[in-house]
Chains A and B, each alone.
Chain A
Amino acid sequence: MPYKIGVYVCHCGTNIAGMVNVEEVADFARGIPGVTLSRTYKFMCSDPGQALLQEDIRKNGLDAVVVAACSPLMHERTFRRAAQEAGLNPFLVQIANIREQCSWVTEGKGAATEKAKALVAAAVRRAREHQPLEMRRVEITPSALVVGGGIAGIQAALDLADAGVQVVLVEREPSIGGHMAMFDKTFPTLDCAACILTPKMVAAGSHPNIKLMTWSEVEEVSGFVGNFKVKIRRKAGYVDHDKCTGCGLCIEKCPYKADSEFEQGLAKRKAIYLPFAQAVPNKPIIDKNACAYLKNGKCRVCVKFCEAAAIDFTQQDRVEEVTVGTIVLATGFQAMDGRRIPELGYGRLPGVYSALEFERLNNAAGPTNGVIQTRDGRAPRSVAILHCTGSRDENHHRYCSRVCCMYALKYAHLLREKLPEARVYNFYIDMRCFGKGYEEFYKRLQEEGVRFVRGKGAQVWGGAEWKAMVPAAAVPEGLEDHQLVVVAEDSLLQQVLHVPVDMVVLTPAFEPRFDAEEVGRRFLVSRGADGFFLEQHPKLAPVSTTNEGVFIAGACQGPKDIPDTVAQGSAAASKALSLITRKEIEIEATTAHVQDELCSGCRTCIGLCPYNAITFDEARKRAAVNDALCKGCGTCVAACPSSAILARHFGDRQIFSEIEGLLSL
C-alpha cells in the first residue's frame, strides 16, 4: 500500500485560486495520513508544473500522486504520462476535480475551499488504495468502415483508400452520391455538380482498396476501437452484380413502373432500375414492391432479355461480417417535409415546389431535361423563393440550415439565366452569405435583377382560392386561377405585399435522418439537442466522437455545404488514418477480474455483460472475464452476489475510501 503521497494543488491562474484558498487546501492535505509533501503551483499542466511533479517523484520516491486541478477528463492523461516518464506507474495518479466541479460552480470562497478539501481528502484516501496496473496493447485491424456514400463518405473513403487502407463503404441506397448527385449546379461557382462528383463516384466504385456495398445497411456493431466487428445486411436486389454487365436492356424492357425516389416523385422509373444514369455501381436492382413477378408471380421479362443471366429471383438478404479498426459515419441529412407548414401550401397547391424538386426540375438529366416549368407545362413568368422554411423556427428547427440562403441565390440565378423574362423574388429574414465568394454571389444576383424582399413569406394561396377569400380590391390585377399569391410584409417598406407568381419554391430545413437516433445508438455516438451527431468538441475535435475510433463527417453532424462537407470528410479520414497507422492501441487496464476462489458459480454475471466478455467454465463451475473484450463498465462487479468480481482501479476498497474521504469533513 502506498504511503508516500505527494499532493499538488493547482491555481489554474485565477480559475481555481480566485475562488478556492489553495494554500489552505495544501496545508490541509499535509495533515492527511500518508501525505509526505503538499504544494501549490500556478499551472500544474504546464511543462514546469509537470517537471515539478516528476522531480518530486524521482527525488522523494513518491508512491502516489494526487493532483487537485481541473477535471480528470481534461488532464488525467497528461499527469499519468508525466508520472510514467518519472518512473511511477500511471495508475498511481489520482485527480481531484476542484475546477469544473468546485471553483467554477460554487458561490463563496469559504464553501468552495471546504468542498475542495473534501475532494482532496477523498483523492488521497483513494490513492492510498491504488494498485499499479499495466496498460494493454492490442493490434489495430488496418481497415476502415465508412457508412454513407454521400460526398462526405466518398471523400473519406477515397482519402483512406489512397493511403493504402482497406475500406468498406456501406450505402443504403442502390447508388452512392447522396444529395449532391441530384444537383445540376452548385453555388457559388456554379460548377456542374455531375462534372465534379461523377469522377469521384467512379473512383470510389473502382478503387482496388474500396469494397463498395450499396443497397446495404449496418445492422450491428460490436468490439471497440482498433477492432470493431460489424454486421452488414446486404439487401436482396435480385440481380447478381457479378454477372450483370450493366447493359440496361432489362430496364428498357421491364413493363412496370413506380415513382422515382431520386426524381422526388416528379418522374417514374421501372421496377428494375438504376436510380439515375450515372449511378455507381451502374447495375440495376429490382424493387420488390413494383416487380410483377415478385408480387404475383407473373412477368419475368427481364430474365428473358438478360443475356448474362444475371437476374436472380431467389436472392435473399444476407448478412456479412467485417472487422475494421475504425469507422467514419457520414449518413448525411434529410430535408424537412414542407407539408408540416400548411400555410405555405406545399402538397396542396401544385405550383409550390420543394427545393429538391426544383433541383431535379432544373437538372439537364432530370424529368424535364432541365426545362423549368410548372406541373402543367407552363414556363413560369414569375417565381417566389421563400427562405427559412422550418429553419430558425421554434415550431420546427431552431437552427439556421446554413445552406438554403445560398442555394436560393443559385435558383434565382438559374431562373434568370434560363427564363430571362421571369420575375424572381427572394423572401428572406436575413441573408446569410458567410462563405468564400458567397457575398460576391449575392451582389451578382442583385446585378442580375432579382428582387430581394426582406420579410418572411407568411402564406401562399392559390389564385382561385384567393379570389374567394379576399375583397375584390385585394385581388391583384390579372391574377389567374392557376397562379399563386404570396403574402409577406416587406419590413423595409413596412408594407404588406400580395405578390402573384406562377411558382413558389420552398427551402425546407436540414433535418437529422429519420433513423439518426437508432444509428447513433448502434455506433454509440450521441446526438446534440438538434438531433445531429455530436462531435467530441465543437472547436478542437470537430470530427471525433465520444466513442473512440468512430468519427463523423458531413451533414450528419449538422447542416453544411459541400465545401465544408468535403473538408470534414478529409478530416475524418486523416483522423482515422492516424489511428490506424499507430498499428497498436493501448486499451484500458481497468477491466474486471473474477477471483476464482470467491466465485460461487451462480452465473448472475454471465447475462449482464453487454460485451459477452464473461465466459463460464462448466467443468470448474467458475466464471472468467476475457480481458480483451471487457470494457470495464463494472456492471458485473456491482451485481455479483459473492463480491467475487474485482474492478481494477474501481474496486470496492478504492471507492469506499473515496466515500470516506468525501465525508471526512
Chain B
Amino acid sequence: MPKHYVILGATSAIAVATARRLATKGHKLTLLARNSSALQEIEDDLRVRGAEIASSHAFDLAQETGQAAILEEIAQTGGPIDGLLVFYGILGDQARAETDPAHARDILQINFNSAVDWILPAAQLMEAREQGVVLTISSVAGDRGRRSNYVYGAAKAGLSTFMQGLAHKWAAMSKELRAVNVKLGFVDTPMTDHLDKGGPLWAKPEGVAVSIERALEKGGPIVYAPWFWRWIMLAIRMTPNFVFKRVNI
C-alpha cells in the first residue's frame, strides 16, 4: 500500500537515491529542501519514476519556525504522515569551527537543533495516530569524538541519543511507532567531495539507500550502513584512550 513519506533535505545525494527506490514502489512523497531549482528537477525525476508528489517546499530547514503548522499543512495536503525522513546536514569545517563560534553553532543548529525542531511535532502527529516512522541519518562520527570532526560528531551524537530516547518511548507505546537512526560510514556524495575516495570503506549512495529503505520498512532503532561499521565502531569505542590518543583520525 502506498505510504506518505515526508523527506527533509530531498536534494541530498543519499536522499535522492533513497527517494528513487520509494518512487519505484509508487509511494506518495512530500519534498523539502532549500534549493528550489534542484528540488524541481528532483521532483520531476521522482514523478517519472513512479512517485506521487504530494507537495514540495523550498526553504532553509534550519532557520524555519512554525514546524508544527507546516507539518499539519503537509498532512492536510498529502494525507497523514506515515514517515518523516531527515537527510539534510552539513559536515562543516572543524578547524574553522574551533575559532569561529558562529560556524560551530551552524553545525549544531543544522545537524541537531533544527532536526529536533522538526521531529518533535511530527512525533506528536504520529503518536496521536499511534503509527508512523521517524528515520534520521546520523553518522559513525557520533560514536566517538575524534580530532578531525568533533563538532559535527557531537551534533550527530546528540541526534543519535535523541532518537534512541524516542525509540525507547515508542517501544512502550505501540509496535506501529518506530524511531530509526541510520548511522552511515563514508559515502561518496558532494559532502565528501574534498576527500580522497576509493577503497573498501567507501559506499555509494545507491548502496546505502538499500539499507535505508529496509530500515524504513522494518528496522530500528539503530542501523549501521554499510553493516560492517557496527563492528568497526565497536572496536573504535573499545580502544583504550592511551592508544586512541595516538591515532590520527
Query: Does A associate with B in a complex?
Result: no
Q: Which residues of B are interface residues toward A (Cβ below 8 A)?
A: none
Q: Which residues of A are interface residues toward B (Cβ below 8 A)?
A: none
